[in-house]
């Protein structure tokens, strides 16, 4: 997405109308329509090596266990989401690189997990089953837009895309729960984003310094007032 084209984020859009999704999802659905038809025609999803390694999904793994992994991965979505909301993640090169690391380590495997799991939900409501199978494709689109937002380095764009990611995962889990599947929640209070843990020696806080507001510049705490 291009900078300056976003309106203010509207939380919980999926949750209000689970069966219809958002306007943005409708556009993404058009983009992924051919892909979805390809999956339906073949009846086969070929797992990538990374998917097979990160989430070994086969006959020995039940749907409940797979849903539990999706629910646990939702925590990693919340970490970045809360970091952007609290402005601990401010955009820019370093913070955007952190989001990219989360995408590669957690969000892309999560999307692949949902893609494999969706047909196995076997929801009684046909429309909800179709929606469950579409959501991983929509999530892939949201992740592509999040990747674009990390390239612009604009925190407000990243926040909007992270909310889309969170809503897609939440709706997927909600549909599974409505269909009688066991779904646990691991969210609780939003976890605090730990910049020292994520950045190590590259964090201002690692050296006892602080960052200037809306900046990646490190200063000593007693310099903060003078530089404002």
Bridge partner list, 218: 211
pTM assigned to the model: 0.62
> pLDDT value at position 223?
72
| CA angle (13, 10, 114) in 5-degree steps | 45
The Cα–Cα gap between 228 and 224 comes to 6
Residue whose C-alpha is closest to residue 79's, from 109, 55, 103: 103
> pLDDT value at position 187?
76
DSSP state of 124: S
Q: Which of 1-5, 41-45, 123-127, 148-152 has the lowest mean pLDDT?
A: 41-45
Structure tokens at 150: 């990390």
> pLDDT value at position 23?
56
Residue 178, CA atoms < 13 Å, CB-side half-sphere:
18
The separation between the first and the last C-alpha atoms of the chain, rounded to the nearest angstrom, is 31
Using N-to-C axis directions, what is the helix angle for 126-152 and 33-42, rounded to 10°?
A: 130
Rounded (10°) CA dihedral 159, 162, 164, 165: 180
Read off the pLDDT of each residue in 45-55 and give the average, rounded to a whole number. Answer: 42
- Residue range 213-228, pLDDT digits in tens: 656 667 666 776 655 5
**SS3 readout for 21-86:** CCHHHHHHHHHCHHHHHHHHHHCCCCCCHHHHHHCCCCCCCCHHHHHHHHHHHHHHHHHHHHHHHC
Structure tokens at 225: 């007032």
Residue with tokens 């510049």: 217
Rounded (10°) CA dihedral 136, 141, 142, 147: 130
Residue whose C-alpha is closest to residue 13's, from 188, 168, 189, 178: 168
Of 7 and 72, the structure prediction assigns the larger pLDDT to 72
- Residue range 52-105, pLDDT digits in tens: 344 444 443 589 899 999 999 999 999 999 999 999 999 999 999 999 999 999
C-beta of residue 183 within 8 angstroms of C-beta of residue 173: yes
> pLDDT value at position 41?
42
- Residue range 136-182, pLDDT digits in tens: 999 999 999 999 999 999 999 999 999 999 999 999 999 999 999 99
> pLDDT value at position 218?
72
> pLDDT value at position 57?
42
Residue 189 has pLDDT above 50, yes or no: yes
Structure tokens at 142: 């949201």
The Cα–Cα gap between 21 and 201 comes to 42
Region 13-191: CATH code: 1.20.120.290
Domain boundaries, the chain: 13-191, 194-228
> pLDDT value at position 119?
96
Distances (CA, A) of 63 to 35, 112, 114, 138, 140: 24, 15, 11, 21, 21
């Amino acid at each position: 997405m291009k900078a300056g084209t976003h309106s203010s984020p509207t939380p919980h859009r999926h949750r209000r109308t689970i069966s219809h999704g958002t306007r943005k999802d409708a556009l993404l659905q058009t983009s992924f329509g051919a892909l979805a038809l390809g999956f339906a025609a073949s009846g086969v999803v070929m797992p990538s090596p990374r998917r097979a390694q990160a989430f070994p999904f086969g006959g020995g793994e039940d749907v409940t266990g797979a849903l539990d992994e999706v629910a646990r991965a939702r925590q990693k979505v919340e970490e970045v989401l809360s970091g952007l909301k609290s402005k601990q993640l401010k955009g820019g090169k370093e913070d955007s690189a952190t989001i990219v690391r989360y995408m590669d380590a957690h969000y892309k495997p999560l999307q692949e997990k949902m893609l494999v799991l969706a047909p196995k939900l076997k929801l009684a409501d046909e429309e909800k089953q179709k929606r469950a199978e579409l959501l991983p494709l929509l999530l892939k689109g949201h992740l592509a837009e999040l990747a674009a937002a990390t390239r612009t380095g604009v925190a407000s764009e990243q926040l909007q895309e992270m909310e889309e990611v969170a809503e897609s995962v939440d709706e997927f889990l909600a549909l599974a729960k409505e269909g009688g599947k066991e779904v646990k929640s691991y969210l609780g209070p939003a976890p605090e984003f730990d910049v020292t843990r994520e950045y190590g020696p590259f964090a201002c806080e690692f050296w006892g310094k602080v960052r200037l507001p809306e900046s990646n510049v490190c200063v000593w705490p007693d310099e903060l007032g003078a530089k404002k």
